[in-house]
Every structure is written in C-alpha cells, then in structure tokens.
C-alpha cells in the first residue's frame, strides 16, 4: 500500500466514521436496544482509531517508504473491514454469524500494530 492510497482510504474512512457516528447518536437510539447501540458505538470507535492509524501510516510512507509500514496499513484496512464491518452488519441485520468475523479484524489490528512497531523501530532517521 502506498502513501496516496493510505491517505485516501483514511480520509474516506474518517468521513464515513463521522457520518456513522452521528447517525448512531441521532438516528438509531430509538430503534436499537442498548446492547446493539453499544455494539454500534464500539464499531465506530475502533474504525476511527484505526483510521487515524492508517493516516499516520500514510504520512510515514510519504516520508520514507517501508514495506512493514505498508503491511501495517493494509492490516489496519482489513481490520476495519472485518472488525467494524462485521459489527455494523450484526447491528443492521441481526444475523449472528457476523459475530465470529469480528475477532479476525481484531487479530488484524493487533498484528498491524506490532508490524508498525517493528517497522518504525527499523526506520532510519532522515537528516535535516
């Protein structure tokens, strides 16, 4: 994943997250149980945090290309799709089999953060 793609996905995901958060806060309270509203809020929160992580990866890749940072960005993107996406699907459809997909997204998040840690440790500092 290159810098431009990371920043593009992060920007789109950020806009979607704000919209989904507002929709949840104002449009879903009357329709969802407290449990499902909590599930929805968890999806929004994790999407936003990993949108910011993806944006950070995009900035890192713009300054110094690293395969590891690129892989971390890909893992964050997949994690958002699996983790938050499965929770959104569970909330809107009520289909329980979306639940087992969620941990796969969480696993991608964890591996993404570890990959980012190793990759940033290995980056060489740019001379000023």
Instruction: Show me where the domains of the chain are located.
Output: 3-122
- Contact, 54 vs 67, CB < 8 A? no
Top-ranked range on mean pLDDT: pick from 38-42, 97-101, 123-127? 38-42
- Report the alpha-carbon distance of residue 58 to residue 10 in Å, rounded: 8
Instruction: Quote the DSSP letter at residue 125.
Output: P
Q: What's the pLDDT at 29?
A: 84
pLDDT-derived band at 48, boundaries 50, 70, 90: very high
**Rounded mean pLDDT, 97-103:** 92
Q: What's the pLDDT at 126?
A: 56
Whole-prediction pTM = 0.92
């Amino acid at each position: 994943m290159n810098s431009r793609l990371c920043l593009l996905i992060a920007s789109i995901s950020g806009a979607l997250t704000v919209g989904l958060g507002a929709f949840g806060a104002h449009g879903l309270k009357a329709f969802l149980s407290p449990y499902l509203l909590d599930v929805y809020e968890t999806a929004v929160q994790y999407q936003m945090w990993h949108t910011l992580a993806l944006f950070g990866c995009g900035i890192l890749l713009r300054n110094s290309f690293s395969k590891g940072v690129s892989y971390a960005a890909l893992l964050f993107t997949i994690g958002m799709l699996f983790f938050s996406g499965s929770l959104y699907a569970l909330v809107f459809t009520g289909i329980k089999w979306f639940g087992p997909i969620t941990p796969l997204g969480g696993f991608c998040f964890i591996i993404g953060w570890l990959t980012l840690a190793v990759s940033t440790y290995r980056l060489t500092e740019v001379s000023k």
